[in-house]
Amino acid sequence: MIFVPLQLGGNASLIAIAVAILFFFIIIISFIRRYKRCPSDRILVVYGKVGGGNSAKCIHGGAAFIWPVVQDYQFLDLTPISIEVNLVNALSKQNIRVNVPSRFTIGISTEPGVMQNAAERLLGLGQSQIQDLAQEIIFGQLRLVVASMDIEEINNDRDKFLTNISQSVETELKKVGLKLINVNITDIVDESGYIEALGKEAAAHAINAARKSVAEKTRDGSIGEANALQDERTQVAAANAQAVEGENIAKINVANSDSLRRQREAEAERTAIASEKVQTAKALEESYAAEQLAELARAERVRSSQMADIVVPAEIDKKKVEIDAEADAERTRRIAKGDADAILFKAQAEAQGILEILTKQAQGLDQIVKAAGDSPKDAVLLLVADKLPELVKTQAEAIKNIKIDKVTVWDSGAKTADGKGSTANFISGMYKSVPPLQEMFNMAGMQLPEYLKGKDVEATTVEEEASKKEDNK
């Protein structure tokens, strides 16, 4: 009682899993079945909810997934359709009725825009219905083309006629999604026989042209034959004349060749003789040149010998004189250098002696200044007092050297303003002509006695008393 519910529950789970798996596989198979592939000779048209604002989506040579419920699909067949069009009593530009039996091959176009037109206008139609629709379009456009052309133009220029038909028909077929593949015009016939007459006229023209051509060819043949005979005779004569001319030219060429040969032989002989003479002259020239070189070599050898005998001893003497002169110059330079060194040494010794003398004098003067109580003036007075005998001696020598043979004095006894006589003035002036001793004493800071200065003792006394009185005041 307990295990039965458990078994029922296990089976339910298995069933649910199996159902889920089956449902999953059904969905997968459904999706796979909804994925449609388009063969190359068809166009897959998907309609319904296709998006992009289009009423259908056309696919050529690919595949697409068709969503269930919201989308569906159909195929358009690309197999070419052959349509026989027997146009009867079509008016041409000249108002001549023409029959144009023809065959057109059409098919659904694979151009993107034209495919969209085919999906919108041909989807669901059978091949016969498409054929009837296309036939009506072709009939109308064919009549339009015939009405726009002349009979002669239609009959003579078939390529233009076919081009006009193709352009006019294809433009209209594209509007319904079709494409013109081929146009084949079987024949062109008119009820009035105009085209047949044109054919006969053309045939007559052709026959006449052929006959004329035959006559012209016959005439041309006769003329050609006569011209050929004339050309033959002319060419034979010309050939004979040319042959004679050729023989003459050959003879002239032979003569010219002989003359040229003789000229060349003479020229060669002359060239050979000249070359021989030139070679002989060159040989003599080279021999003379060799002799001249030999003479020059001998002269050079003699000159070298003389140079060795005369110039070399002279060069030796010259070198000897130069060496002796350089030796004397070097001796003189060394003697002068010795004298200069001696003079320099002597000068240095004298300078050293003067320096010693001046040093000793400076030391003595320093001792004199110290002995004078460090008074430079008193020291100078001591030096002048030391040199005074020499100064007096020099003064006496100056007077002694004056040579006076005879002195004559005429004195009238008259007195001068200073109370002196003429004789006294004369002696005093003569004494003043000697270098003044007073100046020397003044330079040394000393004073001579009043009687040696030439002043009166009384005047001096008076002056001294006056100065004392002034000092007392």
Tell me the pLDDT of the chain (473 aa) as tens digits: 444 444 545 688 888 898 889 988 888 887 778 888 888 888 889 888 887 777 888 888 888 888 888 888 888 888 899 999 888 888 888 888 888 899 999 999 988 888 888 888 888 888 899 999 999 999 999 999 989 888 888 878 888 989 999 999 999 999 999 999 999 988 888 776 666 666 566 566 666 666 677 777 777 877 877 888 887 788 888 888 888 888 888 888 888 888 888 888 888 888 888 878 888 888 888 888 888 888 888 888 887 777 777 767 777 878 888 888 888 888 888 888 888 888 888 888 888 888 888 787 777 777 777 777 777 777 677 677 777 677 667 766 666 666 655 666 565 655 566 665 566 666 666 555 545 556 656 655 555 555 445 554 445 555 555 555 555 55
Separation in Å, CA 259 to CA 249, 256, 262, 265, 456? 15, 5, 5, 10, 159
Q: What is the Cα–Cα distance from 180 to 169, expressed in whole angstroms?
A: 7
Find tokens 């110039």 and name the residue.
311
Can you tell me the distance from the alpha carbon of 347 to that of 339, in angstroms, rounded to the nearest whole number?
A: 12
Q: Which segments of the chain belong to CATH 3.30.479.30? A: 79-192
pLDDT at 136: 93
Which CATH number does the domain 79-192 belong to among 3.40.50.1700, 3.30.360.10, 3.30.479.30, 3.40.50.800?
Answer: 3.30.479.30
What is the pLDDT, as a whole number, of residue 104?
A: 94
Asked if residue 103 lies in contact with residue 70, where contact means CB atoms within 8 angstroms, the answer is no
Q: How far from 76 is each of 66, 98, 289, CA to CA, in Å?
A: 16, 37, 118
- Is residue 388 within 8 Å of residue 437, measured between CB atoms? no
Q: What is the pLDDT of residue 4?
A: 43
